[in-house]
Structure formats: C-alpha cells, structure tokens
Amino acid sequence: MQKLSRRTVRAVCTGTLMTVVTMAGMTMTTMAGAQSVATYPNKPVRIILPYAPGGSTTAVTRIFAQKFTEDWGQQVIVDNRPGGNTIIGSEAMVRSPADGYTLLTITNTHIINPWLQPKLPYDTFKDFAGISTLTRSDYMLTAYPGFPPNTLKEFIAYAKKNPGRINSATVGLGTVQHLVNELFMAATDTVITVVPYKGGGPSTTDLIGGQVQVSFNNLVNFASHVKAGKLKGIAISGDKRNPVLPDVPTFAESGLPGFVAANWFGMLAPAATPKDIIQKINAEIGKAQGSADTRDLLAKQGIDPFPNTVAATEALLRADYERFGKIIRDKNIKADTD
C-alpha cells in the first residue's frame, strides 16, 4: 500500500475543510435569502415617483402604496422627485440600496429618454429590474366641436385632402403624446402639424377654443370635457370601449386595427435586488390589481389594471423602446431644450 506524504495529507485535509466551509457558507446564504423574503418587508418601503405631486401618476402610485401598506403592515411612502423629465427621480432610485425597500414608478417616458437624452446618468436596462406593470390608460383622438369630421374614417379622409392643415396639440416634443401623433401618421399615411405646448392646461384651453383642431391624449384627461360637450371623442385605443365614454368607438372597430397607443405605468427596482423579493412584490401588485376597490378607484379615472409577470414586463419595456425608437430615428425627433 502506497504511503501518503505529510504534505499530501495536509493538502487533502485543507481542501476538504475548504469545501465544507464553502458549502456551509452557501447554505447560510441560501437560508439568509429565504429568511429575507419571508420577513420582507420589515421596515417602511419608499416608492420614488419622478413626477410632481398631483395628476394620474400620483393618484395611481398612492392607490397601490395604500394596498401595500394594508397587506404588509408597514408604511409605504410615496416620494415625489420631479425634474429632468423623470431622470432625477430615476437616478435617486438607482443609487439606493438594492434590497427591495426603494422602488420606482415609471411611465413610457422611461424608455423614451435614452433616445432623446444622450448622456443619462444610468443605463435604462442594466441598472433597473422590472417588477410589473401597474395600469394602462387608452389614448383618445379628440377634436373641438366645430371640426368637420365626426368619425375616424372621416378624419383620415379629411387629413389626406388637407395635408399639414390639421393642428394637433401636444405637451412638449419627444413626449409620448407627441410620438402617438407620429405613430398615427405612419399608420394612416397622413400629415398632421404637431403644435407643442408647455403644459396640459394651455393646450386644452386652445383645443376647446378651436385654436387647434385635435389632440391625442389620455382618455381621463378629456373625458369630462367630452361629457360636457366641450370636445368630441373620435376614437380610443384599446381592445374595447371604455365605460367612462361608452359612445366613443375604438380605433380597431373604426377601421384601424393595427394602431396601438397606450400610456402604461410600471414599477422597477435597482438591478441587484434579490429575485425572490422582486417576485414577492410582483405578487403583491397582482393582488392589488385584482381587488374590487382598486379596480373601482382606477375605473373612475378611466384607467385599467395592467397585470404582468416579471418577464412580460421586461419584454414590454424592450418592445416599446424599439417601437418608439424607430419613430424617433425615422422622424429625427429632438426633445425640448428648455
């Protein structure tokens, strides 16, 4: 029988000990991870909202924050961090610990910014982890009452006969609202003049007054004016009519089935956030979306719950990034500089 040298014995023993220690460490890490998701959250959670207080972004985020607070028994704080076209709030979230206690509400703007802002202080995909989409709101093509067309078919025919003579109000350039106009023109082979405004108030006033003829905007922003007869709804996006304005047909039933235009809200976390915590938050969002009171609160604003898996959320971000990016490249669209 071959004898082993003392050096060989020491090497074998050392290797065995290191293996045991490594396995023990892995076991402890696994246990710690399981324990963290089991006890999450055990302190207040902060949701950064990169918009000023007020409006639908704040309303929607607070609805979900309240449901989280009720279910988790921990305070969920909505932290408004406006500025830089959502960049300031997004950067604040990226720089926060990746432990699930700092989240971020986003809109389509998040995936449009990379095309218009060449020097973002973060990577739009590598620095963020998708959790879920929250809500979806349809866009409505709206006109002032004196505008001749009343249906989408009439509108398209009118636009073809009068290229560039229809003025469409938008808030800013390079915004989702602006890009929806561009998507519509590409889908219908029409030319509409986009008129950018600094805010929704002035653009709505001019639309009601007939200084501009039409506007694409979230249904919720114009629903009350349509009900009061100050504006008329021509068509809405989505696969069904909205109960807030049941008389306004969809683009699909009006003859434009391929036109997709929606403003969605989503929730992200820092990229290194543990996947099990991401999944737990996703499940909590789904639970909130399925509750009757949440649905009622959203329906009053003309907004629908928009549940998604983590993977589907990531896929949506990529798909809309490419879809809007193509329009921005093809039309050489630039963001507002002031």
**242-262 residue pLDDT tens:** 888 999 999 999 999 989 888
The Cα 261–Cα 239 span in angstroms is: 11
Query: What is the average pLDDT across 17-32?
Result: 44
Residue 291 has a pLDDT of 96
Is residue 30 included in any domain, yes or no?
Answer: no
Q: The domain spanning residue 270 has which CATH number?
A: 3.40.190.150
Considering the domain architecture, whether residues 191 and 271 belong to the same structural domain is answered as no
Give the lowest-confidence range in 116-120, 140-144, 154-158, 263-267: 116-120
What is the rounded average pLDDT for all residues in the chain? 89
Tell me the average pLDDT across 274-286.
98
Provide the number of structural domains found in the chain: 2
Q: Is residue 10 part of a domain?
A: no
Burial category of 198 from C-beta neighbours within 10 Å (exposed 0-12, middle 13-18, buried 19 and up): exposed
Question: For residue 21, is pLDDT > 60?
Answer: no
User: In this structure, are 282 and 294 located in the same domain?
Assistant: yes
- pLDDT higher than 50, residue 48: yes
Does residue 199 register a pLDDT over 90?
no
| Structure confidence at residue 337 (pLDDT) | 58
Closest CA to 75 of 67, 86, 83: 67
Q: Is 203 domain-assigned? A: yes
Average pLDDT over residues 299-323: 94
Assess whether pLDDT exceeds 90 at residue 2: no
Band of residue 51 on the pLDDT scale cut at 50, 70, 90: very high
38 located within any domain: no
- pLDDT-derived band at 5 (thresholds 50, 70, 90) equals low
- 1 has a pLDDT exceeding 70: no
Query: Which of 145, 110, 297 is CA-nearest to residue 220?
Result: 297
If DSSP states are collapsed to H, E and C, what string results for the chain? CCCCCHHHHHHHHHHHHHHHHHHHHHHHHHHHHHHHHHHCCCCCEEEEECCCCCHHHHHHHHHHHHHHHHHHCCCEEEEECCCHHHHHHHHHHHCCCCCCCEEEEECCHHHHHHHHCCCCCCCCCCCEEEEEEEEEEEEEEEECCCCCCCCHHHHHHHHHHCCCCCEEEEECCCCHHHHHHHHHHHHHCCCCEEEEECCHHHHHHHHHHCCCCEEEEEHHHHHHHHHCCCCEEEEECCCCCCCCCCCCCECCCCCCCCCCCEEEEEEEEECCCCHHHHHHHHHHHHHHHHCHHHHHHHHCCCCEECCCCHHHHHHHHHHHHHHHHHHHHHHCCCCCCC
My answer on whether 98 and 175 are in the same domain is: no
Provide the residue count of the chain.
Answer: 338
pTM score > 0.85 for this model? Answer: no
Does the pLDDT of residue 20 top 50, yes or no? no
Give residue 338's pLDDT: 53
What pLDDT is stored for residue 238 in this prediction?
85
Query: Residue range 162-186: average pLDDT?
Result: 94
Between vectors from CA 282 to CA 280 and to CA 286, what angle results, nearest 5°?
115
pLDDT computed for residue 44 by the predictor:
97
150 and 217 share one domain: yes
Q: What is the CATH number of the domain that holds 209?
A: 3.40.190.10
Which neighbouring-strand residues pair with 213? none
In a shared domain, residues 118 and 179:
no
Does the pLDDT at position 17 exceed 80?
Answer: no
Considering the chain, what percentage of its residues have pLDDT values greater than 70? 89
Residue 337 lies in a domain: no
State whether 63 and 126 are in the same domain.
Answer: yes
Same domain, 113 and 170: no
Q: What is the pLDDT of residue 200?
A: 85
Domain range for residue 151?
Answer: 138-236
Place 55 in a pLDDT band, splitting at 50, 70 and 90.
Answer: confident
- In terms of DSSP bridges, do strands 128-143 and 167-171 run parallel, antiparallel, or are they unpaired? unpaired
Q: Round to whole Å and give the CA distance between 232 and 303.
A: 19
With a cut of 70, say whether residue 224 has pLDDT above it.
Answer: yes
If you average pLDDT over residues 258-272, what whole number do you get? 93
Average the pLDDT over 28-42 and give the result.
65
pLDDT at 145 over 70: yes
The predicted structure's pLDDT at residue 148: 96
Q: What is the pLDDT of residue 204?
A: 93
Indicate whether 11 belongs to any domain.
no
pLDDT at 34 exceeding the cut of 70: no
Give domain status of residue 204, yes or no: yes
What does the pLDDT read at residue 24? 45
User: Is residue 40 scored above 60 in pLDDT?
Assistant: yes
Q: Are residues 118 and 167 located together in one domain of the fold?
A: no
In a domain, 2, yes or no: no
Task: Tell me the average pLDDT across 185-197.
Answer: 96
